[in-house]
Amino acid sequence: MKNLPFKKHSLLFAPMEGVTDGPYRLAISRAFSEWDYFSTDFYRVPTVGNIQEKAILKHYGHGALEKKSLRDKTSYQILTSARAQTKPVVDIINAQGFEHLDLNLGCPSKKVNAHRGGAFLLSDIETLKPIIKTIRESFDRIFTVKIRIGYRDDKLFFDLLKMFEDEGVDAITLHARTRDQLYQGTADWEYIKKAVKACSIPIIGNGDIWTVEDIVRIFDECDPYAIMMGRGALKTPWLATTYYEHRNNPDFLSEEFLLEERRRGLDIYFYELEKEYRKENVEDINILKRFKSFSRYLFDDFPDHETVRGRFLRSTSLNEFKAHLHDLV
């Protein structure tokens, strides 16, 4: 087992399709630098056609590639299947010197699972094992997997953990739901606790971590090596900052304080995002679409939050969106 590129009890910003591209990661790393680690959104390994090194690098983001401090704290995530051209893609990622490769085995998308990728592979160890073996043999640095507790149920949970460990995976990120649960109900952190006890490799906890109190509690109750936040990070992109500043006095975090912090954070968040998208020559209408797509959870803590969010989602121009932001902050 290799040493992970982040320390124990680190906070990781989860890979999210359509979100954590190069410009987004650059903006977040600058605005809220307390995040310990990032990941690309997944690169879908093609089943046919020529593998293009240019496309693999473009997916990572050229601006992000040029910033060594960010590259040193970013994993490259892929999504693949038995039919896909896994080895040539991994060979290129390895030759490019990326330090950390992550395999997405948690994606619940119907389309992805219909093509026997993502979380579907958790239902078929005999198909998954050769994929893991191929990646491990082709990539000589940190190799991790991001999983759920199972596909339809948890019957293969411990068998999967053992297979990953036996095949040389360096760490496992565990979202404590099955694929069929999607994001319903509450993540069952007991599975994280069980995985920590069953495995000698690091377990990274994931699922329903929304607040500083949640971070403190999951570390206390489950003792994962680190935690990864997806929807919680989308709701509060500055959550790592709040945690590191106030983890020892969480009682200080009153609703009034958190709401004022949210106003400040939103202002910084959208300012830095726009700056990165401008560098990429993204048109206003497309910046607006991205801003709206990031707004699902951002306004939940405001009084009358549905009305507040509705104003932003009904914006017909980027300037209108920014005017609503100015009124809010």
**DSSP structural state of residue 33:** T
CA distances from 241 to 32, 36, 207 (A): 6, 10, 19
Closest CA to 195 of 168, 218, 224, 219: 224
Distance CA 328, CA 312 (A): 11
107 flagged as catalytic: yes
Torsion sign across C-alpha atoms 230, 109, 191, 226 = negative
Distance CA 97, CA 91 (A): 10
Torsion sign across C-alpha atoms 119, 123, 124, 125 = positive
Residue by residue, DSSP assigns 282-296 as: --HHHHHHHHHHTTT
Question: Under 8 Å CB-to-CB from 240, ≥6 apart: which residues?
Answer: 11, 13, 32, 34, 35, 36
Distance CA 272, CA 264 (A): 13
- Burial (CB count within 10 angstroms: exposed 0-12, middle 13-18, buried 19+), residue 283: exposed
Measured N-to-C along each axis, helices 255-279 and 318-328 cross at an angle, to the nearest 10 degrees, of 150
The encoded tokens of residue 193 equal 């606790």
Cα angle: 168, vertex 131, 128; to 5 degrees: 95
Question: Residue 85's CB: how many other CB atoms inside 10 A?
Answer: 16
Exactly one of 11, 14, 78, 107 is catalytic; which is it?
107
Q: Which residues are catalytic?
A: 107
